[in-house]
Chains A and B, each alone.
Chain A
């Protein structure tokens, strides 16, 4: 009984230490580093970039295709983070705070680069849709098909309005909850729900255009 109690206490302590995404020691050393940067040692920011750039690059690649555009977005994210570092309150992991900036910067990018995407969307044929089945397969034979499938997914998502694309990516593809999306985007939960509903509706409507003869 005593052993069970100790185990329970240990597991509770461990979950408290890790519930915010990073071990407590890591978080406290990170907070010390941030305090140091705010104190004037700007060189310390390089270490933060090194830690989180992979995560930020992966996020930016979901919204931009050209590598030069991805690099511009990531650069903007880190510069914004540096400028606003004094607003980070240290009561949540730095990664959460940084990802809010990342998502909002990606959204700004989508809004700025909103092109007439419907034209390219209507070029997609029903047969092209079969490519989606090879998406994510890890064989050398399917490598070029995999790239084509990835481009197709981007093409389809590009056809959506920026807000719809963002909410669809976060909810359907990344599997985030409405509350999490609201925190990341700064929208109300009601607005997230409305936009998610409209995004799905819009995407289904656009998919009808791929091959109207099929109906």
Chain B
């Protein structure tokens, strides 16, 4: 009954002993530190001017697309509204011009 336990413990001890005997390997690839430094340099934060310039440059295409869409939408739906607003303006102008005359008529 104790044999399996002993065998198992023995295997465990052999494994640990073997793992301890594996020598550490501190070797590193040639110029590895240069590689990491290049990576670090590439992720360094940019100055404020460059940050804004990059952001604005990236925003150019979406802004142009938005502008074109808005223009197209306005040209489709805007004509009727423009006529209405012109008429409204004309009527308001007419009312403004004739208002003094009407008040004169009421006085007489």
- The residues of A with any CB-CB pair to B shorter than 8 Å are 42-43, 45-46, 49-50, 53-55, 57-58, 61, 71, 74-75, 78-79, 82, 129, 132-133, 135-137, 149-150, 152-153, 156-157, 169, 172-173, 200, 203-204, 207-208, 210, 214-215
Indicate if B26 sits at the interface (CB-CB under 8 A): yes
Select from chain A the residue with minimum beta-carbon distance to B22.
Answer: A150
Given contacts A57-B27, A82-B40, A215-B4, 6 further A-B contacts (CB under 8 A): A46-B36, A136-B22, A149-B18, A203-B15, A207-B15, A215-B7
Q: Is there an interface contact between B15 and A136, defined as CB atoms closer than 8 Å?
A: no
A55–B37 CB distance below 8 A: no
Distance between B106 CB and nearest chain A CB, rounded to angstroms = 82
Interface flags, B21-32, vs A, CB<8A=1, else 0: 111111111001
* Interface flag for B50 (CB, 8 Å): no
Q: How far is the CA of A199 from the CA of B33 in the complex (A)?
A: 36
In the complex where A49-B33, A75-B36, A79-B36 touch, is A57 in contact with B26 (Cβ < 8 A)?
Answer: yes
Residues of chain A with a CB closer than 8 A to B20's CB: 136, 173
Partner-A contacts on B (CB < 8 A):
3-4, 7-9, 11-12, 14-29, 32-37, 39-41, 43-44
Chain A facing B: main interface SS: helix
A208 touching B41 in the complex, CB below 8 Å, given contacts A135-B21, A150-B22: no
- Could you tell me if A42 and B4 are in contact, using CB atoms closer than 8 angstroms? no
